[in-house]
Structure 1
Amino acid sequence: MEQLKERECRLAERLIAEQPLVNELRSNPRFLKEEDRLLLSALVDDIYNNFTVRLTTRFPNLTEVDIQYCILLKLHFSVPQVAILSAISRTSVYQQKARIKKRLLLMDPNLFINGETLDAWLHKF
C-alpha cells in the first residue's frame, strides 16, 4: 500500500511538472492573473482528488485567499515564488501561512501535534 501511495505521489508530481503554466511560473514567476488562479485551482482539483473542495468542506473558515495559498503550496511553490505570484513580501507569505495554520487548528486542534509544517500537511492532504 505504501508503494502505491509513493507511486501515486510521483505520478502526480510528474503531471504537474508537465503543465506549461506551472513550468512558466516556476522558471519566471510573475503576478498571477485571475485566469491563472482558475487554471491552477482546476489543475490541483483534477490531480489531487478535488483538493479545494475537500479543503473547504473540512475547513469552511478558510478564506479564498487562504485557499489560493494552499493551492500554491500544494504545487510546491517556494515562499519566494509565492511572494512574487501574490505580489507581497516573503514576510507576508510567512504570516499568511501562520494564519492558515491557525485557522486549521481552530477547526481541528489535533493537527500538527507532531510538529508537522503546513506545507507537509498540505502535501499529504
Structure 2
Amino acid sequence: MAVPSIVLGVAIAFAGRFLMNLAAFWLLDVRGVVTLYVVVSTVFSGLIIPVHWFPGWLGTVADCTPFPSILQAPVDVIQGRVQGAQVAQTLLLQVGWLLVTMLAGRVVLARATAKLVVQGG
C-alpha cells in the first residue's frame, strides 16, 4: 500500500504548488507567496520534524492542512506506523485532500482566466 500513498502524496504536492502558482494571475511577483508556501509546507509536512512530535495544538493545526498527506502519511505507511484499517483511512484522507486541492485549483484557474490581463507589451 506504500506505492498508492506515495503517488497520492506527489499528486497533492503538485496540486498545491499549482494552486499557489496561480497567484501569478493577480500578482506581479509570485515569489513571496511561493516562498511562504514552501516554508509552511516544509514544516507541516513533517520534513523538518515529524508531525507526531508536534505539541497538541500545532498537531491539530497541521492536521487541518493537506501538508501531512504529502510526506508524513506516505512515511507512516512505509514504516508500518499505520496498519490495517488505518492504512485505508490514510489513503482516503489523501484522496480527499487531492480532490480538494485539485478542485480549488480548477476554480481559481477558471476565475483567473476569465479576468486575465496581460502585463507589459
TM-score, length-normalised on structure 1? 0.35
**Greater RCO (CA < 8 Å, at least 6 residues apart):** 2
Q: TM-score, normalised by structure 2?
A: 0.36
Query: Higher Cα Rg: structure 1 or 2?
Result: 2
